[in-house]
Amino acid sequence: MKRQIIDKIKQYDTIILHRHVRPDPDAYGSQIGLAELIRANYPEKIVFTVGEHDDSLSFMAFPQQIDDAQFENALIIVTDTANTERIDDERYVKGDCIIKIDHHPNDDAYGDLLWVDTNASSCSEMIYELYEEGKIYAGWNMSDAAARLLFAGIVGDTGRFLFPSATSKTFEAAGQLVQYNIDRNALFDGMYEMERKLLNLQGYIYQHFVMDECGMAYIKLPTAILNQFDATPSETSLLVGSLGNVKNIRAWVMFIEENDTIRVRLRSKGPIINELAKKYKGGGHPLASGATAYSWEEADYVIEDLKAICKEYK
Ligand code: AMP
């Protein structure tokens, strides 16, 4: 499969890379990291990265604005995106050939060519693997820019190598990538430095989360609370993992009110939670998933379901 993807990259003059909405470091890392890899090895090709920019990722890179006409005869590569509804920039359908590269469960097998590896810690790790194949098969070289983005994507999706998804392969990839000219301190600052208001909100979370005897915990962040801390829904991304530090916690859910909906962000240290996410029209990984609730009453149903999962796990 990796060789078929490399053949397609060789074949097309214009390549457009997409990733998922509400991007995170692995979305940018895999999408723009692969773009940089292609640019470094095929400077004659026209390579674009699309999707709405998220300000919190400005330390990584910026996507581009392009016209519809660019999609004609283009190769489309979508990274880190499980289902078509979550592809940022729906013009991907206008391309000539679509490749899906992802590490989420393959519930929506879209694309003309698919490479899905749920054992990969991150999609950026898969792009590193593609590079390794490219090195042997097509003489690819890594660039500093690509290495920096891929490293950030791996760090982001493994929670700084803490999650069980980080395997020896992950560490090997990271070990190779840090040999390039990367300012790791600047990257880590960009990823983990928090404004004081967010640290205050983190304090609120630690003071107000609710946990039961099975290790199921939740915290609700309605608009009034977000306003109190002058925080936007997207800024809470850095706080989702915070409850993981609580002793005896097994799984947790953070509810964040956003416009007329409630974003449901689920995390776990063992119990499988992505089936629950699917029940609420979401999805994701077995230990990190998301969904949407349409009322606080529905949020309470999510809590009950998660409680049942943790009880059974215990
Ligand atoms: P998040 O809490 O947004 O960081 O998401 C954790 C994981 O769940 C990511 O890998 C997402 O791909 C997945 N995910 C989050 N929200 C949704 C959703 N509404 N539908 C499908 N997958 C989702």
Mean pLDDT of 100-129: 97
**C-alpha of residue 290 to centroid of ligand 1, in Å:** 4
Contact of 282 with 222, CB cutoff 8 Å: no
Q: Which residue among 289, 292, 294 is best mutated to probe the pocket of ligand 1, counting the most ligand atoms within 8 A of its Cβ? A: 289
Is 5 a residue whose pLDDT tops 80? yes
pLDDT band of 1, cuts 50, 70, 90: very high
- 3-class secondary structure, 60: coil
Cβ partners under 8 Å of residue 88, min gap 6: 18, 19, 20, 21, 23, 50, 51, 52, 81
Cβ partners under 8 Å of residue 147, min gap 6: 177, 180, 181, 182
Query: What is the layout of strands, in order, in the sheet containing 216-221?
Result: 210-211, 216-221, 251-258, 261-268, 288-293, 283-285
Considering the chain, what is the average pLDDT of its residues? Answer: 97
Its pTM surpasses 0.85: yes
Extract the tokens encoding 86: 């979550």
Which amino acid is located at 176 in the chain? Q
Determine if ligand 1 sits within 6 Å of the CB of residue 288. yes
Closest residue to atom 14 of ligand 1, CA basis: 290
pLDDT band of 244, cuts 50, 70, 90: very high
Closest residue to atom 6 of ligand 1, CA basis: 289
Determine if ligand 1 sits within 6 Å of the CB of residue 111. no
Of the chain, the percentage scoring pLDDT greater than 90 comes to 97
Of the chain, the percentage scoring pLDDT greater than 70 comes to 100
Closest residue to atom 15 of ligand 1, CA basis: 290
Per-residue pLDDT, 199: 97
Interval 179-222: pLDDT, tens: 999 999 999 999 999 999 999 999 999 999 999 999 999 999 99
Extract the tokens encoding 260: 């007329």
Give the burial string for 96-112 (b: 16+ CB within 10 Å, else e): eebbbbbbbbbebebbe
Is 235 a residue whose pLDDT tops 80? yes
Per-residue pLDDT, 26: 98
Extract the tokens encoding 24: 């995170």
Per-residue pLDDT, 253: 98
Contact of 136 with 184, CB cutoff 8 Å: no
Cβ partners under 8 Å of residue 7, min gap 6: none
Interval 139-180: pLDDT, tens: 999 999 999 999 999 999 999 999 999 999 999 999 999 999
Is 300 a residue whose pLDDT tops 80? yes
Q: Which residue among 86, 87, 242, 258 is best mutated to probe the pocket of ligand 1, counting the most ligand atoms within 8 A of its Cβ? A: 86
Closest residue to atom 9 of ligand 1, CA basis: 284
pLDDT band of 314, cuts 50, 70, 90: confident
Query: What is the layout of strands, in order, in the sheet containing 75-79?
Result: 46-49, 14-18, 75-79, 97-102, 113-116
